[in-house]
Each structure stands twice: as C-alpha cells, then as structure tokens.
Amino acid sequence: MADVRVLVVDDEPRVAAGHTEFVARVPGFTAVATVGTLRDAVRCLGRDPVDLVLLDLNLPDGHGLDLVRSVRAAGRAVDILAITAVREVPVVRAALALGVVGYLMKPFTFADLADRLAAYARYRAALTASGSASQHQVDLLLRDLHQPPSAALTAPKGLSPDVLDQVIAVLRETDEGLSASEVGDRLGTSRVTARRYLQYLADSGSAERSQRTAGHGRPEITFRWRVR
C-alpha cells in the first residue's frame, strides 16, 4: 500500500520542521510539502496529491478552518488533522463539525502524533478494504480514530499521569526493548519507579515483556511498546 501523503501547515518554521520530522519517523507516511500560510497550502493542494493535512489553525493570512471549509466546498478527498494551541470550545466544535479526523493540542510528543497517525492509517485502510461496513465496525473505527491506544490509558491510583505519558513516549521512540534502569535514566527517575510504570503498561497489554542477557549471563527484563 502506498504511503499516506501528508501536507504540514504551520507558520513557525522550527515547529513545522519538527512536525515534518515526526511524520518521516512514522512508517507508512510521507511529508510531501511543508508550508506556512493558507495561500501556500491552497496552492500545494491544487498542485500535489495530498491525503492528509496537519493543520495549524493560527496562520498569518487567515484561520486554518477556512482551509477546511474550502476543501469541503471543493469536494476534495483530503482529510484534516488539526494541530494547534487553540483551546476555545467554539473553535473545537467548529472543527469537529467540519469533519476533521483529529484535534491535537500543542505541545505534544512524538508518541502523541504517532498514535494518531497510526489510528488514521488503520481507519483509512479499513474504509478502503470493502464496499460496506457494519455498525459495529463503524463504531470501532471512530473510537480508535478519536481515542488512540496510549491516549485511552489512564494512570491508576498511585501513578502520575504525567510520568506515565513520559514512559509511553520513551517506549514509543525506540524499537528495542528497554530495561527499567534505562527508562529511569532517560526520565531521571529511579529504576524502581520506572519499573512500576512499565509493569502497569505490560499488565494492561500496551507493552511487551521479554528478557535479554546482561553482564555475566544474568537475564534482564526489558519492555517494548506493543505495535498495534
């Protein structure tokens, strides 16, 4: 299956470059262009095949939702994922009413975006797999699209939601298994603390446990984010 072609729209050059780099790190996605204005976004959409737009809403020559409206009016088969610091409920409501496939608030981690892109890829693949769908299939597609796996995790009593998000981000950013000590070193926490969060993720099915041989042949337990 061909890669999902992504247009990144953000007027902050460093931020836009970061988003583009994130997209490049997610298998199955390719950033075809990065622009900073509505005008350039419209020009790009008219010139290049684009499947998904990562769209900032605060742009120097207009509001990002104006681009969504123009895409919808033209009947273009382009999906929009809003990526913005805008938190006002009327704007969120308007974006949802216009059919955005997601609304990701800044700041966010690579894991946050990767989860949403992976959910979008599954959603896109499922919609093209057959000519019809059951109510149950539609419900599952929409649930996964708007609530990716890591976003659905909530820290149980005794665990910090912020630390849990950081542990998830560390696991998502590597394909190799990490020990509790290695995760603790990256986060600046103790091995015991890191292991509590890793154990929770493994018990919930979000991480896989395995063993590797450490020094002197002693086995060491490692944890790896479970690919969905």
Prediction pTM value: 0.66
Query: Looking at the structure, do residues 8 and 64 belong to the same domain, yes or no?
Result: yes
Q: Is the peptide bond preceding residue 148 cis, with omega within 30 degrees of 0?
A: no
Q: Is 207 helix (H, G, I), strand (E, B) or coil?
A: strand
Q: CATH number of the domain that 46 lies in? A: 3.40.50.2300
Rounded distance between C-alpha atoms, residue 217 and residue 122, angstroms? 41
* Domain co-membership, 98 together with 14: yes
The pLDDT tens digits of the residues spanning 20-38 come to: 999 998 889 999 999 999 9
129 in a domain, yes or no? Answer: no
Is residue 215 situated within a structural domain? yes
In this predicted model, what pLDDT tens digit does every residue of 176-185 receive, in sequence order?
899 999 999 9
Please indicate, yes or no, whether residues 9 and 102 belong to a single structural domain of this protein. Answer: yes
Indicate the number of domains in the chain.
Answer: 2
Show the domain range for 9.
4-109
Round the average pLDDT of the chain to a whole number and report it: 87
